[in-house]
Amino acid sequence: MSYKIDLSGGILTFTIDRPHIRNAINDEVIQGLEELVAQVHNHDPQFVIITASGEQAFCSGGDLSVYQHLRTRNEAYPMLKKMGDVLYRIKTLPVPVVALVNGMAVGGGCEIATACDYRLVRSHAKCGFIQGTLAITSGWGGGTYAMETIPHAEALKMLSEARVYTAQELLENGWATKVVESEAGVEAFFQSMKKIRPEVHRAYKEIAIRKWQSSHLKDRVNEEIRLCAELWEADAHHDAVERFLNKKK
Ligand SMILES: CC[C@H](C(=O)O)C(=O)SCCNC(=O)CCNC(=O)[C@H](O)C(C)(C)COP(=O)(O)OP(=O)(O)OC[C@H]1O[C@@H](n2cnc3c(N)ncnc32)[C@H](O)[C@@H]1OP(=O)(O)O
């Protein structure tokens, strides 16, 4: 299985479990995220955590060995939309969603972390919207969420530079909630959050969801997905993916 879902101490944890491929996202992981959303509504946890196996990567984005076969905008759109839809459902879950960024989060991996309410970033982790180096934009909603999460200039810079940022840089631009050296830092975060009753956390999440609904966040995400699909079919994108996949051959 490419993922794990565990419930413990009122926390539902989703772990991407493909460390050999830097926890890249394939269709099975997308289905797992859809299962995560269903389990939140079944088990009523206090918090949701999204993380990944190993220390090297949180997530390296879409699995290029699989998605390289999507050539046209019409072929790419269904994958982008399916992942974009489940990421929106994760963002609008009725409880706080915490990304434990255990390692590199690049491309769609950075989008997943950005969709979460909080980002606890390990000090060695580097994260960035590197889609620009593949001649596309974010395509799962992450660009829209970045504009919601950090100041405009910082978001536009992070998206447009298409590079990885250090944990310290991510703390300075507001993307990282906290840089954690070890599990103790994560534990301290949850001990603090658990001092407040679940119904208060849910009420504040409701306020955020109402803001996103009234500002048509979902429509903005859908436009991002459409634009990414358009750029996807250009030779510049396919050539960049080809270079990555052939880099070691
Ligand atoms: C809308 C979202 C959008 C989309 O879905 O298209 C994207 O996410 S676009 C961005 C797609 N992701 C990338 O371009 C990142 C590609 N990966 C890397 O740049 C590096 O792997 C990095 C920086 C994440 C880690 O580098 P490191 O040197 O630590 O590891 P390797 O590069 O040697 O990778 C180990 C092994 O995993 C394979 N790998 C890594 N990432 C991916 C990926 N996203 N898709 C497929 N395969 C991936 C890599 O090829 C190596 O395989 P091996 O057979 O061992 O050579």
pLDDT in tens, 86-142: 999 999 999 999 999 999 999 999 999 999 999 999 999 999 999 999 999 999 999
Cα(49) to centroid(ligand 1), Å = 23
Q: Which ligand 1 atom sits nearest the alpha carbon of residue 241?
A: 14
ipTM of the prediction: 0.98
Contact 10, 43 (CB under 8 A): no
- Please give the pLDDT value at position 249: 65
Residue-level length of the chain: 249
- Measured CA to CA, the distance from residue 186 to residue 146 in angstroms comes to 23
Q: Where are the domains of the chain?
A: 3-182
Cα(110) to centroid(ligand 1), Å = 13
CATH of 3-182, one of 2.60.120.620, 3.40.50.150, 3.90.226.10, 3.40.50.720: 3.90.226.10
- Measured CA to CA, the distance from residue 11 to residue 98 in angstroms comes to 10
Q: Which ligand 1 atom sits nearest the alpha carbon of residue 109?
A: 8
Contact 43, 13 (CB under 8 A): no
Q: pLDDT category, 37, cuts 50, 70, 90?
A: very high
Has this prediction a pTM greater than 0.90? Answer: yes
pLDDT single digits (tens) 193-242? 999 999 999 999 999 999 999 999 999 999 999 999 999 999 999 999 99
Residues 6+ apart with CB under 8 A from 128: 105, 106, 110, 158, 161, 162, 163, 164, 165
Q: Which helix (H) or strand (E) holds 50?
A: strand 47-52
Cα(151) to centroid(ligand 1), Å = 28
Say whether 23 sits in a helix, a strand or coil. coil
Find the distance separating the first CA and the last CA of the chain, reported in whole Å. 28
Contact 105, 58 (CB under 8 A): yes
